[in-house]
Structure 1
Amino acid sequence: MEHSGHPADGLKWKHLYRKAEVIFFSEWRTLVTSVVAIIIYSVGVAAFTLPYRFADQGVTGVSVLVKYAFGINPAYTLLALNVVMLAWGARTLNRRFLIWTVFNAFFLSFALDLMQTIQFPVIEDRFLVAVVGSAIKGFGAGLLYRQGVCIGGLDIAISVLRKKYGLEIGKISIYFNMTLLLISIGIIGLTNAMYGFVSCYVNGMAMDRVLSSFEKRKLVFVVTSHTEAVVEFISHHLDRSCTLLKSEGGYKHHAGFTIMTLLRTREAVELKAFLAQNYPGAFMVLAEADEVVGRGFKRWRNV
């Protein structure tokens, strides 16, 4: 005679299902972004680095040099190095970062192996190849960093060293990559190593550009006697929140409020036009906010 499962088992599975559902809906953007970003990055390596024997940076650069020196598929070297890095940093890294790094590291090796089977067109201008390829790789890596995850490799080591010893990320990366470029001279020659240097520089610039372009906002201050009308426009027309700061004029000592809000460039232009048309006596200050973290903007877990 068969016995039905214990009710507690059903509740347990229901709880796990709900937890998995919550995780999926909160992380699906990270999943899609990771897949797209890694494919873009893999194209940059397979189409614009390996065929031209350029140097690269980070653990990918080590894998590329091993390919040039010994003919070993960089996808395998990259996977082996990432496994070692992950095993070393597993206790230090937070769980979300670790899980996504494991996924990204394995998917990167798979994507890079796949991309090497594709016959990409050959470009004669090697300087153009170095610039375009590094921009593509920087764009892909920047998309990943924006989600608060990484592509693996040197980023794992940097994260561990920063948490354990408080070392500066920029200096670690620069020293490692400069050493790698110097070593590469003996393998690929001075000319290709110099192209690699150009590539690394443009890569970093492209990565920073991707990160800053998504996060930048306009920090806006408005001083006006028509506070309620301006707040209503910001809240209902622009669909943005704002903060009222108690203030007092320095000359006539009139008490009132200063409106503070964070807007996209287009929204700031709309607010400026609204004030110019309706309240030309208002005082408005705009400044660049390089990064905004909090509800409605960048999530804290992506920091």
Structure 2
Amino acid sequence: MKNQKLLEKIIRAIMIIIGAVITAYGLEAVLIPNAVIDGGVTGISIMGAHLFGIPLGVFLFVLNIPFVYLGYKQVGKTFAIMSIVGIAALSISTVLLHNVETILGPEDPLLVVLAGGLLLGVGIGIVLRNGGALDGSEVLAVLLSRKIPFSVGDIILFINAFIFIGASFIFGLESALYSALTYYIAKNVIDIIQVGLEKSKSVRVVSRKSEEIGDAIQSRLGRGVTYSQGRGGFSNESTEILDCVINRMEENKLVSIIKDIDPGAFVVISDVSEVRGGSFKKRDIH
């Protein structure tokens, strides 16, 4: 059992290193030569390296260390170790790839943004999916969200707004705008890498015809359902609640099924970041 856990950690560390190398290549071969930066600590490091002539890898490692310590205190030792592996790999890779051939020039700014965003998104997504981090701003945002009434996403957006404003003074307004677009593309690619293309959705249905709806979902969508008892707060009547998990491509069909059986049913559909266990895998219904 211990050997299996050790092997899993080694595989995760290797994947984190691969993700860090991909990120470094995106920075050194695409973005930095075209004066386009990333957000967070990485963006600050790129501006610092440009202003002071110090290697980017040095800034990346030094500036991220305090956030790794915060992550160790708040999240745990494994997260801190995996983050150190990722940050060290990113720092070393940026130094080794500093003189790599630039694959896109300033004459193709949109291709630069697209390619850079994709490479950053894939690299950072692989790292996050394996339990590490390459940028301390995310750790800071999580900690601040516990103290102030803003979400993690809002705080990261606020931090990056200041970083991109600073980039406009160093690299120019056009480069800052391209940097913001690159960050947006990378963020969406990260979500795809972490969650997958078939994003899951949780469905809760409150209806007097819950069993009939459940039978239709199982026969027409091939999804398992779970029933539980509830009581209406206003009517004080007992009712049956149906829960199931679908993918986003099945949402319209499910809504259609519910409307056909009970147009007055109360339906709540929400995004699910991860599904484990149970019998979520769709069975063949054809």
- 3-state SS, counterpart of residue 160 of structure 2: helix
Partner of 1:204: 187
Shift of the alpha carbon at 1:41? 1.9
Shift of the alpha carbon at 1:65? 0.9
TM-score by length of 2: 0.71
8 A contact 2:42–2:60 mirrored in 1: yes
8 A contact 1:225–1:256 mirrored in 2: no
Shift of the alpha carbon at 1:38? 2.2
Structure 2 residue identity aligned to 1:179: F
Partner of 2:203: 219
Matches for 1:1-303 after TM superposition, within 5 Å = 18-25=1-8, 27=9, 30-87=12-69, 89-123=71-105, 124-163=107-146, 165-166=147-148, 168=150, 169-212=152-195, 213=197, 215-217=199-201, 219=203, 241-245=224-228, 260-264=243-247, 288-293=269-274, 295-296=276-277
8 A contact 2:83–2:134 mirrored in 1: yes
User: How far does the alpha carbon of each residue in 1:164-219 deviate from its partner, in whole angstroms, 9 at most, with x for none?
Assistant: x2563233322322222222233222222222232233333433454454642363
8 A contact 2:214–2:225 mirrored in 1: no
Alignment RMSD: 4.1
Shift of the alpha carbon at 1:229? 7.6
Instruction: From the CA coordinates, give the structure whose radius of gyration is larger.
Output: 1
Using the aligned pairs only, state the percent identity: 20
**Residues 1:190 and 1:269: Cα distance change in structure 2 (over 3 Å):** closer
- C-alpha distance in structure 1 between counterparts of 2:177 and 2:215, whole Å: 59
- 3-state SS, counterpart of residue 119 of structure 2: helix
Structure 2 residue identity aligned to 1:159: V
Structure 1 residue identity aligned to 2:122: F
- Structure 2: gaps spanning 5 or more residues: 232-237, 279-286
- 3-state SS, counterpart of residue 244 of structure 2: strand
- 3-state SS, counterpart of residue 243 of structure 2: strand
- Structure 1: gaps spanning 5 or more residues: 1-17, 249-254, 276-280, 298-303
**Residues 1:287 and 1:228: Cα distance change in structure 2 (over 3 Å):** closer
**Residues 1:120 and 1:245: Cα distance change in structure 2 (over 3 Å):** same
Structure 2 residue identity aligned to 1:243: T
Partner of 2:235: none
- 3-state SS, counterpart of residue 227 of structure 2: strand
**Residues 1:231 and 1:197: Cα distance change in structure 2 (over 3 Å):** closer
User: How far does the alpha carbon of each residue in 1:36-90 deviate from its partner, in whole angstroms, 9 at most, with x for none?
Assistant: 4323322221122111112321111111112222222211210111223324554
Please say which of residues 286-295 and 51-60 is displaced more in the overlay.
Answer: 286-295
Shift of the alpha carbon at 1:293? 4.7
Aligned residue pairs: how many? Answer: 267
Structure 1 residue identity aligned to 2:271: D
**Residues 1:159 and 1:227: Cα distance change in structure 2 (over 3 Å):** closer
- C-alpha distance in structure 1 between counterparts of 2:230 and 2:73, whole Å: 49
TM-score by length of 1: 0.67
Please say which of residues 80-89 and 59-68 is displaced more in the overlay.
Answer: 80-89
